[in-house]
Amino acid sequence: MKVEVKELKISNELQKKIDMICRFAGVSPNLTSGCVKNIKGTNIAYVKPHILSANGNDYLLFEECDDVFINGYSKSIKLKDLERYLKETK
């Protein structure tokens, strides 16, 4: 099986939002770009989200999405609540 990987670029808008939220929360952002992995010859694809690592947690971010997933997909918060969540988990 051959896997084709395409890097996703973090939009300037999302980058600015995350930088501002982290600055107000007093957290140094460690943001990793996501990617799309396609398995050649099939219709199978996996979208790996952008990942913000802070305070021992991984926050999964998707472009154009108001939800932020915490350490997987079972728990989510709204992007507007991320600053408060980051402050609480310090």
d(CA 5, CA 46): 10
Each residue's pLDDT, cut to its tens digit, for the chain (90 residues) gives: 799 999 999 999 999 999 999 999 999 989 999 999 999 999 999 999 999 999 899 999 999 999 999 999 999 999 999 999 999 987
Alpha helices in 1-90 (DSSP H): 12-25, 82-88
Segments of 8-56 assigned E as strands: 30-32, 35-39, 45-48, 50-54
Dihedrals φ, ψ of 80, to 5°? -65, -20
Q: What pLDDT, on a 0 to 100 scale, did the predictor assign at position 89?
A: 86
Q: What is the pLDDT of residue 29?
A: 86
Domain ranges of the chain: 3-88
Tokens 């989200």 belong to: 49
- According to DSSP, the residues that pair with 67 across neighbouring strands are 78
The pLDDT score that the predictor gives to residue 1 is 79
